[in-house]
């Protein structure tokens, strides 16, 4: 029986190769979301007569669309990102109308969100260190869920403190507390 032995199939928790196309199809659908969003935003920029370069990317489970380069683009951000939030929601709706699926697309204009993310991470670290050193809990200003997550992540990276969210939307805030 050398060489002709038949072995029983071995059960394994390893994913089978058929799973690989699904992972690609998810990324492909995110690329498609980005392209649809890019087309929508390009038409919007044309109507507004604004200049800007549109960049498409995929980060994890989100399509990321960035508009950079034009001098008038700050008008698309608005005060505290309010116009940007509305534009992101309209872009998500345009993608949903085209694909039939809810979109989690992230839109950034003139690096406003990227810079905001950096500022919030620094704030979370600074407040954490203050709370750790003083022992006094500290409440931050109200933030969106996205902003709170950035702060929570920054707080989690500092030993001796933790964070919670308190309050109800739209006044929900992060509180940093010494352990």
Residue 2 has pLDDT above 70, yes or no: no
In this predicted structure, what is the pLDDT of residue 63?
93
Task: Kindly list the distances between the CA atom of residue 57 and the CA atoms of 81, 115, 137, in Å, as whole numbers in the listed order.
Answer: 21, 17, 39
Highest-confidence segment of 21-30, 68-77, 166-175: 166-175
Average pLDDT, the chain: 87
DSSP 129-170: HHHHHH---EEPPP--HHHHHHHHHHHHTSTTEEEEEES-TT
Residues forming beta bridges with residue 123, ordered by sequence position:
none
């Amino acid at each position: 029986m050398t060489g002709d032995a038949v072995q029983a199939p071995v059960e394994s928790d390893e994913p089978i190769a058929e799973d690989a196309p699904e992972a690609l199809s998810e990324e492909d659908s995110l690329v498609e979301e980005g392209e649809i969003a890019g087309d929508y935003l390009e038409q919007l920029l044309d109507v507004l007569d604004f200049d800007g370069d549109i960049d498409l990317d995929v980060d994890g489970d989100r399509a990321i669309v960035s508009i950079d380069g034009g001098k008038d683009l700050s008008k698309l951000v608005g005060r505290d990102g309010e116009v940007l939030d509305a534009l992101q929601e309209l872009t998500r709706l345009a993608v949903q109308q085209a694909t039939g699926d809810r979109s989690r697309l992230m839109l950034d204009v003139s690096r406003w969100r990227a810079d905001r993310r950096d500022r919030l991470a620094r704030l979370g670290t600074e407040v954490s260190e203050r709370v750790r050193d003083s022992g006094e809990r500290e409440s931050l200003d109200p933030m969106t869920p996205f902003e709170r997550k950035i702060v929570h992540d920054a707080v989690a990276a500092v030993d001796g403190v933790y964070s919670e969210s308190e309050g109800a939307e739209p006044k929900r805030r992060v509180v940093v507390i010494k352990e």
